[in-house]
């Protein structure tokens, strides 16, 4: 078990595969999945985990996302990117809300830190 993983989750893992991005999985899909299954790292720990395994050359990634307002993993999929309005669902009381869980990632090319087409920039959505 890696010390990095232990620091992030504070508990043992059955397998390292549980905390690795799927092949082709994009950054916000991965981070959203980790926050859902393991919890927020309290910083950009899952972002950094993604970067180390899938986008090593994107050395400014966490700094760039922090500048966009991502204070921790769970704010990434709220403040920086939101699920595309096409995926939102009507609730019984007539409100349109993002689904609690993102659908499976549609994939991005290797070494990309870009989101897949499930995500839109939160700025864009606010307009």
Q: Give residues in contact with Zn ion (CB under 5 A).
A: 26, 29, 40, 72, 74, 105, 116
- CB 17 to Zn ion: min, Å: 18
| Burial degree of 8 (CB within 10 A; 0-12, 13-18, 19+) | buried
- CB 12 to Zn ion: min, Å: 22
| Burial degree of 25 (CB within 10 A; 0-12, 13-18, 19+) | buried
Closer CB to Zn ion, residue 13 or residue 24? Answer: 24
Closer CB to Zn ion, residue 40 or residue 55? Answer: 40
- CB 58 to Zn ion: min, Å: 16
Closer CB to Zn ion, residue 8 or residue 105? Answer: 105
Other Cβ atoms less than 10 A from the Cβ of 40: the count is: 19
């Amino acid at each position: 078990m890696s010390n990095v993983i232990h620091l992030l989750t504070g508990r043992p893992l059955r397998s390292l595969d549980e905390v690795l991005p799927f092949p082709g999985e994009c950054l916000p899909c991965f981070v959203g999945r980790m926050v859902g299954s393991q919890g927020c790292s309290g910083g950009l720990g899952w972002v950094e985990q993604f970067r180390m395994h899938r986008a090593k050359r994107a050395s400014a990634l966490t700094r760039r996302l922090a500048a966009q307002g991502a204070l921790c993993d769970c704010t990434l999929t709220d403040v920086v990117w939101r699920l595309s309005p096409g995926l939102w669902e009507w609730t019984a009381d007539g409100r349109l809300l993002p689904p609690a869980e993102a659908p499976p990632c549609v994939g991005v090319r290797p070494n990309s830190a870009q989101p897949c087409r499930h995500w839109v920039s939160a700025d864009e959505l606010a307009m």
